[in-house]
Amino acid sequence: MRALISVSDKTGIVEFAQSLKLLGVDIISTGGTSKALKAAGIDVIGISDVTGFPECLDGRVKTLDPHIHAGILAMRDNKDHMKQIQELGVIPIDLVVVNLYPFKATILKEGVSLEDAIENIDIGGPTAKNYQDVSVIVDPMDYSIVFDELKGSGKVSRKTNFYLSSKVFEHTSSYDTLIASYMRKQRGADDLPETVTLTYEKIQDMRYGENPHQKAAFYKEVANTKGMLTDAVQLHGKELSFNNINDTNGALELCKEYTEPTVVACKHANPCGVGSGKDIYEAYMRAYTSDPKSIYGGIVVVNREIDVKVAQEINKIFIEIVMAPSFSSEALEILRQKKNIRLLELKNIEEKQPETALDLKKVSGGLLIQTIDSKLYDGELKVVTINSLYQKEMADLEFTWKIVKYAKSNGIAIGKNKQSLGVGPGQVNRIWACEQAIAHCKEALGADILKGASLASDAFFPFPDCVEAASAAGITAIIQPGGANRDQESIDACNKHGIAMVFTGMRHFRH
């Protein structure tokens, strides 16, 4: 039996090669792998001794030779194949241990040059189509499986070979996709490609998906994900569920919109309480008091360190998840008193996704792809009413516009003094969302709180009914995209009731 070993990742390779030698396997090897095996006292056959041709071009050409590929691809039960390789002087290779140059590790380095990246593109992967006769290993975790079968029966089963072959193609597919994606970015392409191949690495299996009968897993992009949810470190609590991760992501993305101390509470991926303040305690109290009912069992994301004072408040109710850039040791001690709360630490929590990042939505038989909704406004805001805006109202409108951007459509958000007062998300018509947001305000904080408040709508008003409802509640400023055929009716209603209205020129549908 012959084995070809040529690996970039040398984890466990010396031990595996030593085990193969004990079973009488001849080992062919190349370059750095050959040196490592020889240094460990393992007798190897140099690749040039098989090919009759020296390794050349700084190692770019080693195994590209019929003496190697024919030895791997020859089908053992095909008499013509075996006759041909015998006539050509080719000896069959039964085991291939190969993994590719570290392209991923290279491009993730700070300041890596295009030239360095190119040199770490392997010219080809292992030839795994002949799985009936040849075992091909790309994952060091599989060394023990192969050795155990060889030791037990003298051969590797066809079932195991098929498993190994499928892993090879997963490996090379991911590798090639990563290269293609990198090259696309290097050429500055900003269009959506004609064909899409994606590569993600599994972080963990989930107990189940959105519902217990659905399978699920959590995957990470092969890229610099600093400040992204996939880089969060769990400090306490039971494992995260599919819904936990999905809901936390929505809260995290909303929290990134704010630079001052801010707390975002979400429930079922919708914001239910948002507060900003001079410190994180003030921000938390504003987020909590805006809707103390909905925050129960929700997700809380904070953009500053959580201290003792905030931890004590959080511990008064049941919260599923708390995410922050850091926790003081005393705060951690307090929060860990509850075994079911999940505590996530995410350094660089303020880092946003690049504008070129993609948003993916699976549909039956296909995939919808778009760039992320990275902007807040489209150009300058336009005051369309005779009533001008005060600086405070403008600050309230911007604060509330950020909230409605992350509420499911149709969505309405009401805010005042750096505090959300009510959110009406995911309604089938806009007036229902408006009425729901107003009702939430009244229930949690009383009707008087609405006087002088600001209202944001994720899309235009098709009718003036939302203006009428806002006026009746005491709201004095509205922000919305504009662009409806009947915009003037809403403008006229605002002018009639003394409400200032701003058009953004940009909507924020969220489905």
Give me the active site residues, please. Answer: 129, 268
Instruction: Report the C-alpha gap between 231 and 209 in whole angstroms.
Output: 21
> Please, which residues have CB within 8 angstroms of residue 353's CB and are 6 or more apart in sequence?
228, 372, 374
Tokens 């799985």 locate to 131
Edge-to-edge strands of the sheet including 233-236?
Answer: 233-236, 342-345, 321-324, 299-302, 262-267, 270-276, 419-424, 412-416, 454-457, 477-480, 500-503, 382-383
For 48, phi then psi, to 5°, come to: -70, -25
- Using CA atoms in the order 313, 317, 321, 324, what is the torsion angle rounded to 10 degrees? -10
CA distances from 56 to 31, 63, 468 (A): 10, 11, 79
Between CA 361 and CA 369 the distance in angstroms is 7
- 45-46 and 26-29 beta bridge pairing: parallel
- What's the alpha-carbon Rg for the chain, to the nearest Å? 30
CB 271 within 8 A of CB 257: no
Give the HSE-up count for residue 4: Cα atoms under 13 Å, Cβ half-sphere: 30
Q: Are 458 and 510 in contact (CB under 8 A)?
A: yes
